[in-house]
Structure 1
Amino acid sequence: MLYINGEWVNAASGDELEVINPANGELIQKVAKGDEQDSKLAIEAADSSFKSWKSKTAQERAKYLRDAATYLKENIDQIAETVTKEMGKPFNESKGEIVLSINYFEWYAEEAKRVYGETIPASHQDKRLMVIKEPVGVTAAVTPWNFPVAMIARKIAPALAAGCPVVVKPASATPLSAIKVFEALHAVGLPKGVANLISGSASKVVGEMTRNELVRKITFTGSTEVGKKLIRDSAETVKKVSMELGGHAPYVVFEDADLDQAVEGAVGSKFRNAGQTCICTNRIYVQESVAEEFSQKFAEKVSQLKIGNGLDEGVAIGPIIDEDAYEKVKSQISDATNRGATVVCGGQKAEVDGQDGWFFEPTVLKDVTDDMVISTEETFGPVAPVYTFKTKEEAVERANHPEYGLAAYCYTNDLKKAYYMMEELEYGIVGINDPIPTTAQAPFGGVKESGIGREGGHHGIEEYLEDKFVSINVK
């Protein structure tokens, strides 16, 4: 079903899309497949609600967000099961995603009450100058499949807190998770039109969003290629945009690091969600003197990871989302081995009893060089290439990517080295001895072609606000 103007409705065309479980290829459910007409109706519903929604007090908007967080808490197992069924991640990871989503709703329930203006010293005695903050307007949010609940929460919580009504287009692979979020908003009595959900054709639904003059803000998480298209299309009506795009995170391990800690961190960063996260490490650089020891310990840990259906007990690696993603992983490994890389563990399609999904063995490669495809193109799968370096200057030069700049990681027990890496790594997020830095109260986003703007923290709500300067002549 689509959610438009406070009601669950079918697509105007009557079309449906199939939601497939990537672990076994089975049909989970059919949902409405929206198009331009549905998108336009949702945008108009959002626009009609804008005046009344922005006029509500911050405390009133905050209450809806807190109540939605409570609903998610009370239904966490059911929602997590939906996430696991339609995109494959292990159940405990899905629960962790819902917890993060709850954190975003709770955080922005508080940030709604902290949208401050300012007064400015005037250059003339007869003037009073001030800046007030106003919501940008109708916001269109386009979200990915790999975190189908958290990415919606991270976008709509600050938008609603700021006073912006929203229209959400979820990934076609994971509309059921999005529906669960909107069930929460419906259950808490969010006013009609304030939040709308349109699953369906990306070109048609999002095309209407970028063309429609009523939409004043586009927020997107996904590939750099698609993000660039949305920026171009949004330029026609000069929309405000925020983009969280592709990444190619380096993971630098110095010889003074706690190697066991670095190994655990690398496993957690690389293989969470089967490597299908935008901030997971794509390149592991280890200082030469400890490279062999690190690689052995790392491969041993990786080879112990249990592969299977995310609903089964003890599973750490679920399926890859679809055949295209599976073939991309195979292609990168093939290119690397043909150019001299060695498979330390994994490297093959995984066979899981009773399941017919896109499972791939968690893989470690060594003898990897910078000219291999895996060294420059985002993998989005369970493959970890290990490189070696000699000096911190070399590590920085190779870690900094010419296009991507989303997240980077460094392991060292030398404070001076940590500061050096923090300042020299050209990334929007840097984890020092921390493989999972994402949190609701801190900004998330990249530099270069990895994005524009920030989500999370007090920075996130600013993306949905405009500064209005007011000059008053008091004489």
Structure 2
Amino acid sequence: MSKITHKMYVDGQWVESSDGQAITVLNPSNEQVVGYAPQGTRDDAKAALQSSAVAQIEWARLPAQKRAEYVAALADKLEEQGETFAQMVTEEQGKLLTDARGEVAGSVGFLRYAAESARRIEGEITTSENANEQIWIQRVPYGVTVGLLAWNYPLALAARKLGNALVTGNSMVLMPPADTPLTVLEFGKLVEQVGIPKGVVNIVSGLGTEVGDELVRNPITKLVTLTGSSEVGSILYRSASENITALNLELGGKAPFIVMDDIDVDEVVELAVQSGFGNCGQICTSNERMYIHETIYDEFMAKFIDKVKALKVGLPTDETVDVGPKVNAREIDNLIGHVEKAKAAGATIACGGGKPTGELFKQGYWFEPTVITNVTNDMAIMKEEVFGPIVAAMPVTGLEQALQFANDIDLGLSGYIYSKDVRTIMKAVNELEVGEIYVNRPNGELLNGFHTGFKRSGIGGEDGKYGLEGYLQKKTVYFNYG
């Protein structure tokens, strides 16, 4: 694809940054320039918020079903241009093309589910202690909302947040991730094409320290929804406190992958590899730390390491490839740091552990699929989110120890349990301190579930009817008709 210079979408117009600065977007496979995005300013963010505030009033007055028609049309447009968007995702993010097609399909699904939810926005009527009176609980939009997106699934996250925000009567300012802004800006063209009124959707690209900070701190903003790291979430939490702005935070994870001794080893090994190395490990629900029953540990790990060694690293456009590049050089340095810290603590690098060799890998941001063993649960590799193709593993004496180790952490997004014993499964379901549990299956949320985290993994959540409710606040009416 040719290099593209994008503009931001503000108040129905395509504009450059007010100071003329731009972000250069590189292809993670070869470090070649993919295109350019405006590096917006605080003034650009303010303009977008002001536009959203004006537009939201009339948007909220539309019937929910009418708003849904726009969102459904957006889904249709995206589906029509799906291959173009998949290639854009692959080029700027490094995601395997097959996975990028899945991201586009998922984005279409998010929009369609949101559109279908228009008839599900409900309130309640309850009795009053007073004569001739009813109490109404209405669900109403917040007003101006802000969607801050992560680089690992830029298009899907835009669709996931925007669909629900619009159907519920909010306007939204989207801030694309600085590493992967182009697909989201291109998505803005579809917003324009389907005729969503100007100002209802604004897209401002830039840096979190300037554009993101303004969007969060500005009193016009009534709800901020972020997908990002726990560290960024903590900063945002403090910033939003100035105006008591509502927050919906989906933050980092360090998923425990618990395997008991009554399972089919070969089957679960496949699921462990799939859940650990999909999207180069750049998924918040990835298998990052495994607790394997000691009676099957040696067999399981031998087969697991063999499978990991067999993973093919290469160009994401090659459909025979299993693992593509990381998104940027900073992420590679972070992975190297995790490996070195683990080695210094006494862990063993069972396979991988660095950059692959060969002509293909001289340019780009590559890292070998890596397995780390001989760990203890107090090591950083078992506590800190890696967000890359690294999985650490240790044996456990049984479920009690696995649960103890799994919960001994300040993150709680997701977890896995593999067993054929329903009592074992239910104990894990009841005691794992996470918001999402995968039982005898790989990771991957569904549209009508609820994706949420405990502890420092966030507040609020996305998907399903509870995700929709996250974009609505409650208004109580005491209606006296006497």
Q: TM-score range by the shorter chain?
A: over 0.9
Task: Classify the secondary structure of the residue corresponding to 2:377.
Answer: coil
Which residue of 2 is the match for residue 132 of structure 1? 138
What letter is aligned with 1:471?
Y
1:176 aligns with 2:179: no
Question: In the aligned structure 2, how far is the partner of 1:352 from the partner of 1:177?
Answer: 30
Give the CA deviation at 1:352: 4.8
Residues 401 and 164 of structure 1, relative CA distance in 2, 3 Å threshold: farther
1:292 aligns with 2:298: yes
1:456 aligns with 2:466: no
Question: In the aligned structure 2, how far is the partner of 1:31 from the partner of 1:323?
Answer: 19
Which residue of 2 is the match for residue 25 of structure 1? 31
1:402 aligns with 2:409: yes
1:285-342, CA deviations, whole angstroms, 9 ceiling, x for partnerless residues? 1000111111111111111111112112311111111222112211222222233322
| Mapped contact 1:248–1:401 kept (Cα < 8 A) | no
Larger mean CA deviation between 304-313 and 216-225 belongs to: 304-313
What letter is aligned with 2:368?
E
Give the CA deviation at 1:180: 2.6
Larger mean CA deviation between 346-355 and 409-418 belongs to: 346-355
Alignment of 1:337-356 (within 5 A): 337-355=343-361, 356=363
Q: 1:359 aligns with which of 352, 355, 366?
A: 366
Q: 1:49 aligns with which of 38, 44, 55?
A: 55
| Mapped contact 2:176–2:185 kept (Cα < 8 A) | no
Question: In the aligned structure 2, how far is the partner of 1:404 from the partner of 1:156?
Answer: 26
Alignment of 1:208-287 (within 5 A): 208-287=214-293
Give the TM-score of the pair, scaled to structure 2: 0.96
Q: 1:390 aligns with which of 372, 389, 397?
A: 397
Task: Classify the secondary structure of the residue corresponding to 1:134.
Answer: strand
* Identity across the alignment (%): 36
Question: In the aligned structure 2, how far is the partner of 1:339 from the partner of 1:50?
Answer: 54
Residues 412 and 81 of structure 1, relative CA distance in 2, 3 Å threshold: same
Which residue of 2 is the match for residue 377 of structure 1? 384
Q: Which runs of 5+ in 1 are unaligned?
A: none
What letter is aligned with 1:431?
Y
Aligned pair count? 475
Task: Classify the secondary structure of the residue corresponding to 1:469.
Answer: strand
Task: Classify the secondary structure of the residue corresponding to 1:28.
Answer: strand
Which residue of 2 is the match for residue 420 of structure 1? 427
Question: In the aligned structure 1, how far is the partner of 2:152 from the partner of 2:117?
Answer: 26
| Mapped contact 2:383–2:409 kept (Cα < 8 A) | no
1:470 aligns with 2:456: no
1:431 aligns with 2:438: yes
Task: Classify the secondary structure of the residue corresponding to 1:80.
Answer: helix
Question: In the aligned structure 1, how far is the partner of 2:271 from the partner of 2:219?
Answer: 46
Give the CA deviation at 1:351: 2.9
Question: In the aligned structure 2, how far is the partner of 1:100 from the partner of 1:324?
Answer: 28
Q: 1:69 aligns with which of 69, 75, 93?
A: 75
Larger mean CA deviation between 337-346 and 214-223 belongs to: 337-346
Task: Classify the secondary structure of the residue corresponding to 1:215.
Answer: coil
Give the CA deviation at 1:246: 1.0
Residues 352 and 152 of structure 1, relative CA distance in 2, 3 Å threshold: farther
Larger mean CA deviation between 324-333 and 243-252 belongs to: 324-333
Task: Classify the secondary structure of the residue corresponding to 2:388.
Answer: coil
Larger mean CA deviation between 284-293 and 256-265 belongs to: 256-265
What letter is aligned with 2:313?
I
Which residue of 1 is the match for residue 450 of structure 2? 443
Task: Classify the secondary structure of the residue corresponding to 1:8.
Answer: strand
What letter is aligned with 1:74?
E
Question: In the aligned structure 2, how far is the partner of 1:260 from the partner of 1:61?
Answer: 48
Task: Classify the secondary structure of the residue corresponding to 1:120.
Answer: strand
Larger mean CA deviation between 358-367 and 344-353 belongs to: 344-353
What letter is aligned with 2:435?
G
Residues 180 and 368 of structure 1, relative CA distance in 2, 3 Å threshold: same
| Mapped contact 1:351–1:359 kept (Cα < 8 A) | no
Larger mean CA deviation between 202-211 and 351-360 belongs to: 351-360
Task: Classify the secondary structure of the residue corresponding to 1:377.
Answer: coil
RMSD over equivalenced CA pairs, Å? 1.2
| Mapped contact 2:346–2:374 kept (Cα < 8 A) | yes
Q: Which runs of 5+ in 2 are unaligned?
A: 1-6
Question: In the aligned structure 2, how far is the partner of 1:96 from the partner of 1:12?
Answer: 35
Give the CA deviation at 1:77: 1.1
Which residue of 1 is the match for residue 336 of structure 2? 330
Question: In the aligned structure 2, how far is the partner of 1:335 from the partner of 1:133?
Answer: 49
1:110 aligns with 2:119: no
What letter is aligned with 1:13?
D
Give the TM-score of the pair, scaled to structure 1: 0.98
1:414-440, CA deviations, whole angstroms, 9 ceiling, x for partnerless residues? 111111111110000000012123111
| Mapped contact 1:352–1:359 kept (Cα < 8 A) | no
Larger mean CA deviation between 296-305 and 40-49 belongs to: 296-305
| Mapped contact 1:363–1:384 kept (Cα < 8 A) | yes
Give the CA deviation at 1:124: 2.1
| Mapped contact 1:20–1:26 kept (Cα < 8 A) | yes
What letter is aligned with 2:294?
E
